[in-house]
Amino acid sequence: MATLDQKPLRVALAGLGTVGIGAYKILMQNASVLEERTGRQIVVTAISARNQSKDRGVDLAQCAWEDNPVNLASRDDVDVIIEAMGGENDPAYTLVKTALENKKHVVTANKALLAYHGVELAEIAERNNVSLCYEAAVAGGIPIIKMIREGLGANRISGLYGIMNGTCNYILTTMERTGEDFAKVLKDAQELGYAEADPTLDIGGGDSGHKLVLLSALAYGCLPDFKNLSVEGIDHLEAEDIEIAAEFGCRIKLIGQATKLEDGRVLQMVAPSLVPKTSPLAHVDGVLNGIFVQGDFVGSSFVEGRGAGEGPTASAIIADVMEIAKGHCAPVFGVPSGKLEKAPTATAQDWRGEFYVRLVVEDRPGVIADIAPILRDHTISIESLIQRGRSEKEPVNIVIMTHDAKGEDIRAACAGIADLPCVLGKPLLMPVLKI
């Protein structure tokens, strides 16, 4: 534990957007609290952003300014860099790498940077005996990194499932509440500031994927491997899917899951999924995040909270700074980077369970008779079938709920069904979780 007679911990901030300013506010407004809890003063000595003259609503006059954020990594009056710029490439990459090489601790909320370069940066941090902390990179204010790495560190993790993107969760919650389709709700979310002008990374599942590979590395000691992750988004969902899911006692959520299969492979996938209403994940609404973890001794653990925004993300950043002030230095991914393994990967093709399948078909006799043999040939058994709509001119939706099936088989069946003349468009396929 640090003692009160130690020198102040000197912090530099790179990026003065919502998150960076949030971190600065905590360091200023709660300075006495942080000193009391760490035994050490924490002071901001230098800052960098794109526009020095912009009014950010706080007094930054006492901080040295650097036009180039990478210069912060070479300053003698800096012990810790808070990287709040974002992006997997420069300038964030060069700043973090240079800081670690110069024996400076780094705190970041940049999940994309770590998903692509995390192992390299972890090796540099360990070689120089400094910390690379990223609690804020996954689920904002939820302390999920510390929970898996430390709180559940005595357990073998068998599975983790998470709602990790507030934008998608808000859209799905609103579609359910209003009955409106995806495009309308997305537009409203953009106007309210819950979705970016370009929402592709969120609604396409990529943001959740970045976070999932970090949690998988912590849970299973495997190398972060975003390139081999199975990722699907929510932009193809309709309000009717949500209504039908409710009839089956489920809600639709974008779930990132990582599970250890019996053969030792680690299955990682992001996909819209049917979640039973009895699951705590089913009740995570709006912009909130929630993560469910299964351990061999602890059993099931669940955490829920705000996953983004100035306050929660900045709070997680400063919590990491406090750990550095106390002298704590944990391996970036729970074990030394040299012990991370290239775990045999499994994909959505290997996931086994029940599936929800929606087909848009011509409304004419014989359609089910055309579909059934394809399902049979791929060993897919139907648990229930619903047909919605009735018109000789308009297509109708057929929803099939299967018994347990392997992802590889149901996807092959859907590919065959899509080739039928009576089927219009690509079938929609979603796993049904049992958690």
Q: What is the pLDDT of residues 345-390, one digit of tens each?
A: 788 999 999 999 999 999 888 899 999 999 999 999 999 999 876 6
User: Are 277 and 158 within one domain?
Assistant: yes
Instruction: Specify the pTM.
Output: 0.92
Please state, in angstroms and rounded to a whole number, the distance separating the CA atoms of residues 145 and 334: 9
What does the buried/exposed string (b/e) look like for 354-383 if buried means 16 or more CB atoms within 10 Å of the residue's CB? bbbbbbbbbbeeebeeebeebbeebebeee
User: Are 379 and 427 within one domain?
Assistant: yes
Phi-psi region of 379 (alpha: psi -120 to 50; beta: other; left: phi over 0): left
Dihedral angle computed from the Cα positions of residues 200, 206, 208 and 211, in that order, rounded to the nearest 10 degrees: -130
With respect to residue 329, please indicate whether it lies within any of the assigned structural domains.
no
With respect to residue 331, please indicate whether it lies within any of the assigned structural domains.
no
Please state, in angstroms and rounded to a whole number, the distance separating the CA atoms of residues 262 and 332: 27
User: Are 184 and 124 within one domain?
Assistant: no
Tell me which of 102, 137, 172 is where a domain ends: 137
User: Are 293 and 150 within one domain?
Assistant: yes
User: Are 282 and 174 within one domain?
Assistant: yes
User: Are 150 and 130 within one domain?
Assistant: no
User: Are 296 and 174 within one domain?
Assistant: yes
User: Are 363 and 422 within one domain?
Assistant: yes
pLDDT band for position 1 (cuts 50, 70, 90): very low
Catalytic residue, chosen from 104, 211, 253, 260, is: 211
| Domain at 180, CATH number | 3.30.360.10
What is the domain extent for residue 381? 351-432
CB 249 within 8 A of CB 409: no
Helix (H) or strand (E) holding 354: strand 352-361
User: Are 149 and 239 within one domain?
Assistant: yes
| Domain at 55, CATH number | 3.40.50.720
User: Are 187 and 95 within one domain?
Assistant: no
Question: How many domains is the chain partitioned into structurally?
Answer: 3
Whether omega before 427 lies within 30 degrees of 0, making that bond cis, reads: no
Tell me which of 249, 275, 306 is where a domain ends: 306
User: Are 231 and 98 within one domain?
Assistant: no
Is 426 an active-site residue? no
Tell me which of 306, 327, 343 is where a domain ends: 306
User: Are 263 and 191 within one domain?
Assistant: yes
With respect to residue 321, please indicate whether it lies within any of the assigned structural domains.
no
Burial of 183 (0-12, 13-18, 19+ CB in 10 A): exposed
Q: What is the pLDDT of residues 254-302, one digit of tens each?
A: 999 999 888 888 999 999 999 999 999 999 999 999 999 999 999 999 9
Please state, in angstroms and rounded to a whole number, the distance separating the CA atoms of residues 430 and 407: 10
